[in-house]
Homo-oligomer: A and B are copies of this chain.
């Protein structure tokens, strides 16, 4: 934050290409992929596979040291497309990312500070494999926090009778950054289907309950009324179905009869913060493959 800290403190590993792929399962996929990677000289630092017996689908993630391969990302993509992906067939979904291409995050916030401060702190210490490009609030309260961490803040007010204009403005600002992740960090507006679609696979929400329990508003009040003994948080991709998108991560903490709703709200912040931070990290590291309503997470 000071002039002397321009070199970020970081705990990121050496650079790598990350290949993720999902396709109908068949004999020989692993051999084909690994032979390809061997041919190009790739030093594999992480390799994970999953055969889903339920859907007959195959998933893999491979991390390869960039300095082991004498090709650019584009060259690798081209070779992989012709030498492997074509053979795997048209249903195959794959991508290859280069960790040297810094990813971009846009944070959507409202008035709650906990997820925002946590992510600003992680970015500040170089822990996130991405840059926070902007913070956008439907209220102006959190501008000060964002700007003190050197992150631009945009206020997009959501007047009750001008929501569609507000969402159009939100989309304009967000899309201006072409972000790899649009994080709803306790953003209190429900995205319209059009934005859910536009940001599919990139919009990540933190919901303050252990889904599918307590969908919708005031989940801690619902949890209190039901008398549950654990409360939780859920990080999920946003889809047009409210709080029903593919789940990335969940966790819980214990509560008891002595905890009021206020206590639950306070304690819940800690678990919301952690669950969102873990889910976002996995997303940025290309560890998540979505298939239908389920996620495969290679972590």
Residues on A lying within 8 angstroms of B by beta carbon are 1-2, 5, 11, 13, 27-28, 30-32, 34-35, 37-38, 41-54, 59, 113-114, 117-118, 120-121, 124-125, 127, 141, 143-145, 148-149, 210-214, 224-230, 232, 246-252, 256-258, 260, 262, 265-266, 269-270, 274, 277, 293-297
Contact B113 A297 (CB under 8 A): no
Cβ–Cβ < 8 Å partners of A53 in chain B = 45, 260
Contact B294 A257 (CB under 8 A): yes
Cβ–Cβ < 8 Å partners of A214 in chain B = 212
Cβ–Cβ < 8 Å partners of A252 in chain B = 230, 252
Looking at the assembled complex, report how far the CB atom of A213 sits from the nearest CB atom of chain B, in whole angstroms: 5
A121-B118, A212-B213 are known contacts. Are A228 and B250 too (CB-CB below 8 A)? yes
Contact B27 A31 (CB under 8 A): no
Contact B266 A274 (CB under 8 A): no
A31-B34, A34-B34, A51-B45 are known contacts. Are A117 and B121 too (CB-CB below 8 A)? yes
Looking at the assembled complex, report how far the CB atom of A86 sits from the nearest CB atom of chain B, in whole angstroms: 18
Q: Report the Cα distance A213→B232, complex, angstroms.
A: 12
15 contacts between A and B (CB under 8 A): A1-B148, A27-B38, A30-B38, A30-B47, A34-B34, A48-B48, A50-B257, A114-B125, A127-B266, A148-B148, A210-B230, A213-B213, A227-B247, A227-B293, A227-B295
Looking at the assembled complex, report how far the CB atom of A144 sits from the nearest CB atom of chain B, in whole angstroms: 4
Looking at the assembled complex, report how far the CB atom of A126 sits from the nearest CB atom of chain B, in whole angstroms: 10
Contact B228 A211 (CB under 8 A): yes
Q: Report the Cα distance A237→B225, complex, angstroms.
A: 16
Contact of A121 among B43, B52, B114 (CB under 8 A): B114
Looking at the assembled complex, report how far the CB atom of A148 sits from the nearest CB atom of chain B, in whole angstroms: 5
Q: Report the Cα distance A43→B148, complex, angstroms.
A: 44
The 3 closest A-B pairs by CB, nearest first: A227-B294, A117-B121, A31-B38
Cβ–Cβ < 8 Å partners of A117 in chain B = 117-118, 120-121, 124
Looking at the assembled complex, report how far the CB atom of A65 sits from the nearest CB atom of chain B, in whole angstroms: 10
Cβ–Cβ < 8 Å partners of A262 in chain B = 11, 13
A2-B144, A118-B121, A230-B251 are known contacts. Are A37 and B48 too (CB-CB below 8 A)? no
Q: Report the Cα distance A28→B246, complex, angstroms.
A: 35
Cβ–Cβ < 8 Å partners of A246 in chain B = 227
| With A121-B121, A210-B230, A227-B246 already in contact, 20 other A-B pairs whose C-beta atoms are closer than 8 Å | A1-B144, A30-B44, A30-B47, A31-B35, A34-B34, A48-B48, A50-B257, A50-B258, A117-B117, A117-B118, A124-B145, A148-B149, A210-B210, A212-B214, A226-B293, A227-B295, A228-B250, A256-B297, A270-B274, A270-B277
Q: Report the Cα distance A248→B27, complex, angstroms.
A: 33
Contact of A250 among B1, B30, B120, B229 (CB under 8 A): B229
Contact A295 B113 (CB under 8 A): no
